[in-house]
Amino acid sequence: MTHLSVNINKIATLRNARGGNAPDLLKVAADIETFGAQGITIHPRPDERHIRYQDARDLTQIVTTEYNIEGNPNPKFIALVLETKPTQVTLVPDSVDAITSDAGWDTIKHKDFLKDIIATFKENGIRTSIFVDPDTKMVEGAAETGADRIELYTESYAKGYGTGNEESVLPFTEAAKIAYSLDLGINAGHDLSLDNIKFFKDNVPNLIEVSIGHALVCESLYFGLDNVINMYLNKLK
């Protein structure tokens, strides 16, 4: 089945809103694994408005499944990843003031930059993934950087599917086929939800992992975190 990695940024946002430790981010991460999720994802940003850099360090003692750290590879982020040595690092080209990730890498323009960073991470035993749009040229460029995987940026699919346009999945189907032919593993994330995840999974071949945070936390307000995680796992079988 496709694995579910839960992004816990929104849990950190809720905690930070009151300045205390409720909800306890580390306990939530451990509970999410107990409920059946196969991974934990965090995306620390320079202003630490949700995940703090210390959270990334503390989670190394908590996460027993797959630990995925996402972010723009600036020097501070690179140092954090090399210190914590997660299972996977996902490189995302978000700007400092970005509310959320809004584009994939231009893997052709930034090939040399990505190659150098990826080589450093792989020398330290960290699997690498690159956040890309469903563009075959960008997928081909990702393969040339030495990355292990790509993460398909799925906002356009989610918007299209939400308006009844099932053909919005077709670029992702094609990108996944190209990636697989180039020995790239295939992850996906951004705006995936209980409403659209099954159709995406059924139409994107060789999908290894999805990373879901915002929708999952919103859905959990109604159905409960344990229930929602298992609802996702059932759809990903």
Report the catalytic residues.
43, 70, 190
Strand partners, 187: 151, 209
Long-range contacts of the stretch 35-38 (C-beta < 8 A, 24+): 35/225, 35/226, 35/229, 35/230, 36/4, 36/229, 36/230, 36/233, 37/4, 37/5, 37/6, 37/65, 37/229, 37/233, 38/3, 38/4, 38/5, 38/65, 38/66, 38/209
